[in-house]
Structures are given as structure tokens and as C-alpha cells.
Amino acid sequence: MKLSIYQVAYKNLLRRKVRTSLTILGIVISTWVFVTLLGFNHGYENSLNENIEGMGFQIVLTAKGCPYEAATLMLQGGTGLRYMPENLVRSVIDKPQVERATPMIMHAEFDPNRGETGGTTIYLGIDAASYPPMKPYLAFSQGTWFASDAENQVVLGYEVAELEQREAGDLMLLPGTTEEYEVVGVLKRTGNQDDGMIYMPLFAAQKTFNREGELTMLGMRLVPEIDQAAFEEELYQLPDVQVVSMAQVKNTIMGLVSSAKAIVLSVACIAFLIAIFGVVNTVLMSVFERYQEIGILKSMGALPGDIFKMVFIETTILCAFGGLLGIGFSWIFSGMSELAVRYFLPFSPSGKLIIINGSTALFSFIAIACIGMLGSVYPAWRAASVRPLESIRNE
């Protein structure tokens, strides 16, 4: 029976099943970590961009305070809110640089009847005429927006509606109030902060929460050709307000997580290198063990090139197989990895945090295969350099 060099390499690996399996396991684990982290790098930024785009605003004007508090307020809703005078905000809306603007008031109310320790419900008072055009992705599963001057009507985000078991036409008793509110619409799931909001008409929210003449935020889209930095500078001159651009928010959050990402990526690279050295060590060991066998092969006519190729193929098979399995595992368990990331990260945007697409998988596979092939050069060279007579005599 004539065996090709590929078959010989494959059979050599099968002869030492435990060692081969353990080597592959090392590659699988390091590839898994490596691919997951690459997927996280891609997914986190993508989700953050989507969340920020989902805001629908380029610039948000809020009352003066900590910029991180403002960022949290915008992305997740917040407590301990500060307010701006409404007339000041209206003067900004009239500026020629502003293409669209929508004023909002946010209110967080403690609900003592939620669980043992109570919970917080977030309300967003909005202008029904200017808010929906800035959030065109908001769609209804039931009902529609309230009229701007409607009283005692609310629209619910998807998660609130599920938690409260409300449908369009149902009544609600809002925590902190004694009045009944009619649910006029239930939004479809968006996957971002909108799902957790209870929307009310702006003036009704101001009245209900005793905040007449006050606003929490002004969301703006600017005329495309204007200088955004100059306009921001102009807004900074206003008393007791702060200007937060979406680009700033993104940079702030990316800054917070970048150091953590760098550390984790370094750990992944080290794990990757350890796995590769493990492969080199395993292959080298197997070359030394087969010293006599290689000598016999050469005495039977195998050329140094054939021996080099055989060892090279063995290593490539190990790396390729381990790499493929690792990529597969990272894809299958990306959901669990995402849960772990969400648990440990201080802020994680909604949406998919770990995105393992074809290019990530291909890049990882090529990287693993190339490093494996590079690592196989020395053991293959040692095997190719075996002198037949010397090897047989040594035994």
C-alpha cells in the first residue's frame, strides 16, 4: 500500500492520541479566548455606536454637572437629575445652527411596591411633535403616540409594557401619583434604553412631577454645514448648562474600557503564544522520540525535504484542527461569554457585545495556522537533518 506524506503525518498524530488531544485542547482554548476577544473588540464598539446613533441626537444640552453623569443619564436614564430653565432651552432651539431639536424632561420615581426593597421607574416627558421624527426607528406594536396636549396618557417601552403587563387601552397607576393614565401605545423592542422608558407628554410630565418651566435635556441635530465645535463653544457660554456631544460620550466610554481591553488582549496573546510553544515542544518531542524511525525512513530513500514536509504537515494539522474547533466554540458559546462580559464590565451597551463574523474567524484561523507553521520550522528542520546511520547506531 502506498501512503502519501499527508497520510503518514496524519497517522503519526493518531499514534499518540492523548498527546495529540492535549495539544489540540491547548490550541482550542487559546483560540477560543483570542476569537472571543476579537469579537468583543468589534461588537462592543458596534453596539456603542448603535446605542449612540439610537439616541437620534448629535448634541445634548443638560444642566451643569458631571459629564459622566450626563452620559449615564442619556444612555441608561438616571437619578438625582438636574434641571434647566425652559426659556433658556427655547432660546437655543431658535438658533439658526439647529436643524431639529426636542426638549425632554426625565423623572425617576421610586416605587416601594417593587420587591422587598422597591425599585425605580423612569419617565420621559417628550414633545410628541418633535421627538418621534428624531427617533425614526421607534415603531409601535400597539397604538400610537399621544397628542402633544394630551393629559393622562402614556406610551410604554417594550420592557416596561412586559413588566407591567400593559397593552394599548389599559390603565396605569404611576408610582408617586394617584391619577390613572391610559396606555395609548406600546413600542416594539429596540434593544436600547428606549425599552425601559415610560413616555408622557412634556407638559403633563412637568405638571405631574412639579417641574413646570424646567427641562432635563435638549436633544439636537445640527444644520450639516455648520462648524459643530464652534457651536458647542457658543453653547458653553450659556449659564449652568453643559454640552455633551455624542462623539464625546463615545470617546469617554471607549476610554474607560480601552485599558481593560488592552490587558485582556495581552493575556490572550500570551495564552496564544504559550499554546504555540506547547505545539512546538510537542512536535519537537515527537521528533526526538522518532529519531531512529526517521533515520530508517531516510535510509529507505526519503529525502530531507520529505521529512521536513511530514513534520510541517503534522504541526499544521494540529493548529488547523485546534483553530477550527476553537473558532467553533467561541461562536457557539458567544452568548455565555457575552453574559460574563456584561457581568464584569461597568458599562455595557445593549445589543450584541461579541460579534464573531466571517472575517474575524478567517483572520484568526489564518493567524493560528501561520504561527503554527512558523513554529514547526525548527522541529521540521531538526527532523530533516537526522543522519540515517547515526540515528540507527545511537539506538
Partner 1 sequence: MKKKLLFAALLLGFAAQLSAAVGCDLKDPDRDVKRFFPGSTGYKTAYKSIDKLGGKELLQTVEARLGDKFTGLYETIDVPYTLYTVLKGKETIGYIHGINQKGQYGGLQVFLAYNPQGIISDFYYQKLTSRNAKAMTAPGFAAMFKGLSFADFKDYDPIKHTGIPAGITGEGDDFYATLRAVKKNFILVDIFVFGGKGRQS
Residues that bind partner 1 in the complex, under the rule CB under 8 A: 111, 113-116, 119, 141-142, 161-167, 171-173, 175, 180, 186, 332-336, 338-339
Q: How far is the CB of 188 from partner 1 (least distance, A)?
A: 12
**Residues 6 or more apart whose Cβ sits within 8 Å of residue 237:** none
Residue placing its CB nearer to partner 1 in the complex, 110 or 288? 110
173 vs 270 by CB, closer to partner 1: 173
Nearer to partner 1, 167 or 212 (CB): 167
Q: Residue 115 or residue 346: which is nearer to partner 1 going by CB?
A: 115
Least Å distance between CB 172 and partner 1? 6
Nearest approach, Cβ of residue 54 and partner 1 (Å): 18
Position 162, amino acid: E
Cα dist from 220 to 58, 77, 216, 245, whole Å: 6, 18, 13, 10
Cα dihedral across residues 335, 336, 337, 340: positive or negative: positive
Cα dist. 16→19, 282, 285 in Å? 6, 11, 12
CA distances to 213, 328, 351 from 331, rounded to whole Å, are 52, 5, 16
Q: Which is nearer to partner 1, 12 or 364 (CB)?
A: 364
| Whole-angstrom distance, CA of residue 42 vs CA of residue 36 | 10
Rounded to a whole number of angstroms, the minimum distance from the CB of residue 343 to partner 1 is 12
CB 77 within 8 A of CB 104: no
Q: How far apart are CA 158 and CA 197, in angstroms?
A: 8
Q: Between 119 and 305, whose beta carbon lies closer to partner 1?
A: 119
CB of 29 to partner 1, least distance (A): 15
Nearer to partner 1, 332 or 366 (CB): 332
Nearest partner of 77 among 50, 59, 102, 51, judged by Cα = 51
Closest CA to 255 of 346, 175, 332: 346
Q: Which long-range contacts (CB under 8 A, 24 or more apart) does 270-273 make?
A: 271/29, 271/30, 271/33, 271/34, 272/30, 272/31, 272/33, 272/34, 272/368, 272/371
Provide the 10 A C-beta neighbour count for residue 378.
Answer: 14
| Max CA distance (Å), the chain | 100
Least distance in Å: CB of 176 to partner 1?
11
In the bound state with partner 1, the residue whose beta carbon lies nearer, of 194 and 338, is 338
The distance of closest approach from Cβ of residue 158 to partner 1 in the complex, given in angstroms and rounded to an integer, is 10
Is the CB of 62 or the CB of 350 nearer to partner 1?
350
Min dist CB 339 to partner 1, Å, is: 5
Residues 139 and 187: their CA atoms lie apart, in Å, by 6
C-alpha cell at 239: 449659564
Shortest reach from residue 350's CB to partner 1, in Å: 12
What would the grid cell of residue 299 be?
Answer: 535510509
Identify which of residues 273 and 340 has a Cβ nearer to partner 1 in the complex.
340
Q: With beta carbons less than 8 A apart as the criterion, state whether 183 and 177 touch.
A: no
DSSP annotation of 352 reads -
In the complex, the smallest distance separating the C-beta of residue 334 from partner 1, rounded to whole angstroms, is 7
